[in-house]
């Protein structure tokens, strides 16, 4: 399904872009043509015109649904390449060489993740390939109103997943030092499954969902496994991809089933304060590194220090946030090296603290920068203690 019209992009006039990838998972290819294709295909630009070369399997659909100015038939260009190079076996490299010759293109700009084998073949044949310094489409960083709406829909799916998980925790019972839901031991896997079903029902696919309790939650990318325990912090991080647009949501909340200790209360309160501080600081022109420093300094003032204990990181040892869009991690960044944030940028704000034996807490929302400040693209409450 093609992207809404205002999400589509025209290539810069002063460069010809070349992509060989599937658009189902390659964000640049999807952004360039605005259509989902499961197999790798050639796309390129000349001046401001955009072209795709696809097989008969995809030809009619891509012509109808995509934002390409012209769709070329792979089989026709394969036949022409065989005649041109007088070879029975011709592949993608030969087709690209012929396209460059026929369209008068002297060089192509490619992304850093362009297939290496194909690049070697093209360069060995004398083609000039220029690897883009930074993103192939820097304009992806600035989100239109429709893109913001698509990201908001992703976060609505995230919220639905978190809501289901919270409901299961609320309806569960603590018995003999364990948590039971519907008579069965409550595990990370059960909550992950319930979350992902809820996201599907909202038109989004969640994979890699994090439900990590206790010390598992102290490893920020640990998905979590096995039984969840009462009186331990549980980090729930949901980042689904909306099926009809390809845009992501990304939200995190932390819960505890039972009775928290005073130190756990202090930990969660400090993380929430840091997130509020960072969100209030967001405005066009502020450096992502500045936002990150505000969070770091707040944690240190409150006595939650960062370092290593027994060779393992503890405290706050990841970035404050990252860009969100057609990829779950993209520019801009809010970390030690974070660049200036611009109007229309979309970033997550997700401070966290992690101490083995105490637990981990991370709270994450998504904001879009607007003139004079920012707007939230995610919404869910912050009540975390579940009796």
Distance CA 185, CA 227 (A): 7
Closest CA to 323 of 290, 348, 344: 348
Please count the other Cβ atoms lying within 10 Å of the Cβ belonging to residue 325. Answer: 25
As a whole number, mean pLDDT of residues 345-362 equals 98
Residue-wise pLDDT for 210-222, tens only, equals 999 999 999 999 9
Q: Where are the domains of the chain?
A: 12-140, 142-376
Q: For residues 148 and 51, what is the distance between their CA atoms, to the nearest angstrom?
A: 27
Mean pLDDT of 238-251: 98
Confidence of residue 224 (pLDDT cuts 50, 70, 90): very high
pLDDT at 181 over 90: yes
CA distance 18 to 130: 10
CATH topology of domain 12-140: Creatine Amidinohydrolase; Chain A, domain 1 (3.40.350)
| C-alpha to C-alpha distance for 153 and 163, rounded to whole angstroms | 15
Report the predicted TM-score, pTM, of the whole model to 2 decimal places.
0.93
340, two tokens: 């200036």
**pLDDT of 236 strictly over 70:** yes
Of the candidates 21, 24, 3, 10, the one whose C-alpha atom is nearest the C-alpha of residue 66 is 3
Does 143 or 12 have the greater pLDDT score?
143
Helix or strand run (H / E) with residue 52: strand 49-54
CATH number of 142-376, picked from 2.60.120.470, 3.40.50.970, 3.90.230.10, 3.30.160.60: 3.90.230.10
Say what angle helices 262-281 and 288-301 make with each other, to 10 degrees.
150
Q: What is the pLDDT of residue 14?
A: 66
Q: Residue 9 above 80 pLDDT?
A: no
Q: What are phi and psi of 169, to 5 degrees?
A: -65, -40
For 365, residues 6+ apart whose C-beta sits below 8 A from its C-beta are: 251, 275, 279, 348, 349, 350, 376, 378
User: Which pLDDT score is estimated for 189?
Assistant: 98
Q: What is the pLDDT of residue 367?
A: 98
Query: What confidence category does residue 89 fall into, taking pLDDT thresholds of 50, 70 and 90?
Result: confident
| Cα 238 to Cα 16, 32, 45, 160, 247, distances in angstroms | 37, 27, 36, 10, 14
Q: Looking at the predicted structure, is the pLDDT value of residue 329 above 50? A: yes
Name the strand (E) or helix (H) holding 153.
helix 145-171
| 12-140 and 142-376 in the same fold | no
Residue bearing tokens 């083995």 = 356
Burial class (CB in 10 A: 0-12, 13-18, 19+), 219: middle
DSSP 8-state class, residue 345: B
| pLDDT value at 10 more than 70 | no
DSSP 8-state secondary structure symbol assigned to residue 38? S
pLDDT at 287 (0 to 100): 97
DSSP sequence for 285-333: T-BHHHHHHHHHHHHHHTT---EEETTEEEBS-S-SEEE-SSSSSEEEE
Are the beta carbons of 282 and 373 closer than 8 angstroms? Answer: yes
Q: Is the pLDDT of residue 377 over 80?
A: yes
Say what the pLDDT of residue 1 is: 43
The one-character DSSP state at 147 is H
Is 50 exceeded by the pLDDT of residue 91?
yes
Q: Which residues contact 102 (CB under 8 A, 6 or more apart)?
A: none
Closest CA to 187 of 200, 178, 199: 178
- CA 368 – CA 284 distance, rounded (Å): 10
**Residue 369 in tokens:** 């920068």
pLDDT value at 7 more than 80: no
Cβ neighbours around 348 below 10 Å, total: 25
pLDDT of residue 3 exceeding 60, the answer is no
Position 130 pLDDT exceeds 90: yes
Looking at residue 13, what is its pLDDT?
Answer: 54
The 10s digit of each residue's pLDDT in 28-63 is 999 999 999 999 999 999 999 999 999 999 999 999
For 9-13, 166-170, 336-340, which range has the lowest pLDDT when averaged over its residues? Answer: 9-13
């Amino acid at each position: 399904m093609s992207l809404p019209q205002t999400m589509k992009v025209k290539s810069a006039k002063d460069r010809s872009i070349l992509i060989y990838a599937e658009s189902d998972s390659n964000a640049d290819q999807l952004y360039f043509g605005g259509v989902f294709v499961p197999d790798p295909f050639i796309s390129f630009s000349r001046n401001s015109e955009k072209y795709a070369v696809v097989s008969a399997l995809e030809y009619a659909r891509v012509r109808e649904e995509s934002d390409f100015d012209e769709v070329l038939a792979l089989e026709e260009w394969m036949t022409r390449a065989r005649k041109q190079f007088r070879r029975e076996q011709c592949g993608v490299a030969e087709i690209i060489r012929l396209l460059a010759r026929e369209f008068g293109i002297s060089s192509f700009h490619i992304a850093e993740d362009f297939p290496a084998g194909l690049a070697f073949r093209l360069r060995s044949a004398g083609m000039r390939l220029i690897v883009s310094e930074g993103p192939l489409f820097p304009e992806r960083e600035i989100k239109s109103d429709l893109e913001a709406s698509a990201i908001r829909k992703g976060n609505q799916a995230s919220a639905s997943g978190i809501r289901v998980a919270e409901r299961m925790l609320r309806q569960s019972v603590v018995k003999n030092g364990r948590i039971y839901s519907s008579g069965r031991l409550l595990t990370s896997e059960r909550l992950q499954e319930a979350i992902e079903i809820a996201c599907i029902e909202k038109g989004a696919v969640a994979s890699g969902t994090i439900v990590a309790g206790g010390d598992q939650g102290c490893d920020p990318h640990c998905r979590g496994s096995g039984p969840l325990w009462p009186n331990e912090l549980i980090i729930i991080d949901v980042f689904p991809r909306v099926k009809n647009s390809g845009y992501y949501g990304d939200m995190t909340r932390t819960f505890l089933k039972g009775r928290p200790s005073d130190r756990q209360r202090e930990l969660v309160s400090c993380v929430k304060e840091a997130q509020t501080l960072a969100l209030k600081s967001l405005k066009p022109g502020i450096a992502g590194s500045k936002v990150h420093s505000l969070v770091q300094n707040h944690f240190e003032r409150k006595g939650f220090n960062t370092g290593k204990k027994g060779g393992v990181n503890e405290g706050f040892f990841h970035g404050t946030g990252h860009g969100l869009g057609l990829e779950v991690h993209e520019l801009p960044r809010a970390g030690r090296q974070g660049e200036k944030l611009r109007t229309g940028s979309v970033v997550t704000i997700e401070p966290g603290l992690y101490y083995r034996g105490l637990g981990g807490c991370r709270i994450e929302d998504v904001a879009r920068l607007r003139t004079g400040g920012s707007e939230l693209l995610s919404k869910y409450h912050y009540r975390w203690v579940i009796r």
